[in-house]
Structure 1
Amino acid sequence: MNSDFESSQEEELSQTYRIELDKKAAKDFKGLPSDIQKRIKEAIDKLQYDPRPPGCKKLKAFQPPMRIRVGDYRILYEVDDLEKIVYIGGIGHRREIYGD
């Protein structure tokens, strides 16, 4: 019984994605109010386990090509399934994030 639990934990860990924030995303994050930072961090942490959660959207002709919403804020990112990496390319208010 315990070995089944351990093997399922190992399998889950092997399927997690590493999160990488580029310099712009890190700067964007630091500039947010602390309550928003907390919500954004929770959403980013969840991407480790499911890089395409319900509600995510594939953007057309835009880099990075994926987006999740956290209230009025957006997290723009790209998923590398081979390397198991989620690259966070932008974080910001919906009015500002797409203009850069």
Structure 2
Amino acid sequence: MKDTAAVGLSAAVLGLEIGTELARKTLAEVSRTDHVTPPAPAAPEPPTEKEISIRAYQLWEQAGCPEGRDKEFYLQAEKELSEKETLSSMRTRPALNPE
């Protein structure tokens, strides 16, 4: 009986040591990955020509449909949409962990 108990105890101790070693390895792997810098967020997509044209038309209508100012409204629409896209991408960025 004593031999069986000793063998059982030895097996339990060996199992604990193996488990502890595995836990150390896993902890070391997790520690290494904790300090990895997250990838930079993707640059916002520029507005499409169709989106710019639609917005330029809206601006043109709001201004009373003046003649000869199509380029002005197109550039204004492009600027508005680009700024809007940049702002929305900044709002959706995940918060970085300062630690």
Q: TM-score range by the shorter chain?
A: under 0.3
Higher fraction of helix: 2
Q: Specify which structure has the bigger relative contact order, considering alpha-carbon pairs within 8 angstroms and separated by 6 or more residues.
A: 1
Give the TM-score of the pair, scaled to structure 2: 0.24
Higher fraction of strand: 1
Give the TM-score of the pair, scaled to structure 1: 0.23
